[in-house]
Amino acid sequence: SQQGEEDPQALSIQEGENATMNCSYKTSINNLQWYRQNSGRGLVHLILIRSNEREKHSGRLRVTLDTSKKSSSLLITASRAADTASYFCATGPLLPGNTPLVFGKGTRLSVIA
Amino acid sequence: KAGVTQTPRYLIKTRGQQVTLSCSPISGHRSVSWYQQTPGQGLQFLFEYFSETQRNKGNFPGRFSGRQFSNSRSEMNVSTLELGDSALYLCASSLGDRVQFFGPGTRLTVL
């Protein structure tokens, strides 16, 4: 069963606007990762945030993690048409050697030029 | 470094047949994971191999199997195909820090 649940399921914005996607999870984690998938292709790793971190930046991406609420958010600033894709969160378990990453069902982002 | 490669990219089979998919991980990566992606179920974990041993297994029937070779290349096999097996099958390799590097996937259609 999926642990990460992304919200919203779909998001449509204009180019230049910011996009925010949320992820909630159920059990304690070692880290949380965000991935992007262009239609019908493989996933691409975007960013990893560890359980002892609260915020992380990478270019136009900003990720926050609130372990007390078991939630994370991904902010894409100044979005571009090329950001159109599905975005997935994946939770890394406390014992990484024993259990796999668990992916959510994703948020489908459409950026309209 | 070359990325993860998967062959074939597209496959059409009929019910009852079997299929073998192949995955070559990034050089130096010893962990290979397989996922099934469908519109209804999302990304479902199939299994993970590490140094030729199955380390984790998802909740799939025994018709789904896999193996890993000494060069870390991996194959997955699906026997007695069902219509519901139509999906994008993704392979991912990692160094063990759980950051997954995905291949482009194999699109399997079962008729």
Interface test with A, best of B98, B106, B108, B109 (most A CBs within 10 A): B98
Close Cβ partners of B26 (under 8 Å, ≥ 6 residues apart): B1, B2, B3, B4, B93, B101
Strands B19-24 vs A102-103: parallel, antiparallel or unpaired: unpaired
Query: Higher pLDDT residue, A81 or A4?
Result: A81
The CA distance from B100 to A62, in Å, is 20
Closest CB to B100: pick one of A41, A45, A98: A45
Residues paired with residue B74 on neighbouring β-strands, in sequence order: B23, B68
Whole-number pLDDT of residue A97: 62
Confidence of residue B84 (pLDDT cuts 50, 70, 90): very high
The percentage of residues in chain A with a pLDDT greater than 70, rounded to a whole number, is 94
Residue reference for tokens 């894409």: A76
Confidence of residue A101 (pLDDT cuts 50, 70, 90): confident
The percentage of residues in chain B with a pLDDT greater than 70, rounded to a whole number, is 98
Confidence of residue B67 (pLDDT cuts 50, 70, 90): very high
Confidence of residue A1 (pLDDT cuts 50, 70, 90): very low
A44 vs chain B: nearest CA distance in angstroms?
A: 7
User: Which tens digit of pLDDT belongs to each residue from B4-35?
Assistant: 999 999 999 999 999 999 999 999 999 999 99
- Residues of B whose CB is below 8 A from A2: 42
Q: Does B40 touch chain A (CB under 8 A)?
A: no
Q: Does A38 touch chain B (CB under 8 A)?
A: no
Q: Does B97 touch chain A (CB under 8 A)?
A: yes
Residue reference for tokens 């026997």: B79
CB contact under 8 A, A40 and B107: yes
Whole-number pLDDT of residue A92: 83
Q: Does B35 touch chain A (CB under 8 A)?
A: yes
Residue reference for tokens 């459409």: A110
Confidence of residue B97 (pLDDT cuts 50, 70, 90): low
A100 vs chain B: nearest CA distance in angstroms?
A: 7
**What tokens appear for B52 in the block?**
């030729």
Query: Higher pLDDT residue, B95 or B14?
Result: B14
User: Which tens digit of pLDDT belongs to each residue from A16-58?
Assistant: 999 999 999 998 888 999 999 998 889 999 999 999 999 999 9
CB contact at 8 A, A51 and A29: yes
